Amino acid sequence: MIFKDKTVIITGGSEGVGAATARLFAEAGANLMLVARGKKKLEAIAEELRDKTRVEIFAMDVSDPEACVNLLKKAAFEYGRVDILINNAGHHVRAAFESTPVEDLAKTIDVNLKAPIMLTRLAIPHIQEAGGGAIINVGSLAGRTYVPGSTAYAASKAGLRSLTYTLAEEMIGGDIKFGIVSPGPIDTGFIMTDIDGTTNLVFSQPISTPEEVAQAVLDLCGNNVREQCMHTSGRILTTLSYLFPWIGRTIRPMLEKKGARVKAKLKAERKE
């Protein structure tokens, strides 16, 4: 897909994967609408990229229905079209399910699943009017199998994956590409600022950079792939543990030991 002069909306666009994705689209000449809660961080990334392309920002809570409506209105007003939606904003509270406050569980579902559903519904008519485009969701390997200690997060990402595949079938033959990238741990503050709170199982998988995930997002916009897992080992392990839960339970102790070693190494590196 040629991105020059296309309009791309990116939620969670102020840092991490969202900012890395914005940089790639800016290099490709796309017009950007960057969304996040914090206006200051949005202004910083916008200022960085404005010498490459047009950038507008919209500070909002993505789980607010009215704000979602206003976001699409602003994107259409500023650029005259909407071509691509990247649902990247995420929320995660790491704790045992029974000890997690109900409001935290609700926020996880609101940000990770409710918001993408609303924004996708609102974006589809605009993308169709523009002649077609793409809606790409940033999921997780947790959405492909069960991850103890991340129940609501895993459920929300499984729902996001289901949204992607179901819409692809419901709108098959249409002019919108639906895709999802499913990474394991990513080297961003999303988990790296809470290493101790992140389960050892998570760190048993290869750690991706924000740039690697961003490239997968860009690639999904224009190829025939429905889901890009990161990495191959993660795709195989999550598929096996989902289809055959006993395999997951059998190898989990080994994976947790591996993750503990990786976690200890990461913590030691950050002290140096």
Per-residue pLDDT in tens (0 to 9) along the chain, 272 residues: 899 999 999 999 999 999 999 999 999 999 999 999 999 999 999 999 999 999 999 999 999 999 999 999 999 999 999 999 999 999 988 888 999 999 999 999 999 999 999 999 999 999 999 999 999 999 999 999 988 888 999 999 999 999 999 999 999 999 999 999 999 999 887 777 788 888 888 889 999 999 999 999 999 999 999 999 998 999 999 999 999 999 999 999 999 999 999 888 888 887 76
**CA 154 to the chain's CA centroid:** 13
Contacts for 258-267: CB closer than 8 Å, 24+ residues apart: 258/200, 258/203, 258/204, 259/199, 259/200, 259/201, 259/202, 259/203, 259/204, 260/200, 260/203, 262/203, 262/204, 262/207, 263/195, 263/198, 263/200, 263/203, 266/192, 266/195, 266/203, 267/195
- Per the CB < 8 A criterion, the answer to whether 171 and 128 are in contact is no
Q: Residue ranges of the domains in the chain?
A: 7-191+204-233
Which residues are bridge partners to 176 per DSSP?
133
Which listed residue (79, 146, 153, 165) is catalytic? 153
Q: Classify the C-alpha dihedral 189-205-154-167 as positive or negative.
A: positive
Q: Classify the C-alpha dihedral 66-68-73-75 as positive or negative.
A: positive
Query: In sequence order, which ranges of 50-186 are alpha helices (DSSP H)?
Result: 65-79, 102-109, 115-129, 151-170
pLDDT at 130: 97
Residue 30 and residue 217: Cα distance in Å, rounded?
Answer: 14
pLDDT at 144: 95
pLDDT at 190: 75
Tell me, yes or no, if 153 is annotated catalytic: yes
Provide the CATH topology of domain 7-191+204-233: Rossmann fold (3.40.50)
Tell the residue number behind the tokens 């639906």, with chain if given. 178
Read off the tokens for 75. 């994107």
Q: What is the DSSP letter of 111?
A: I
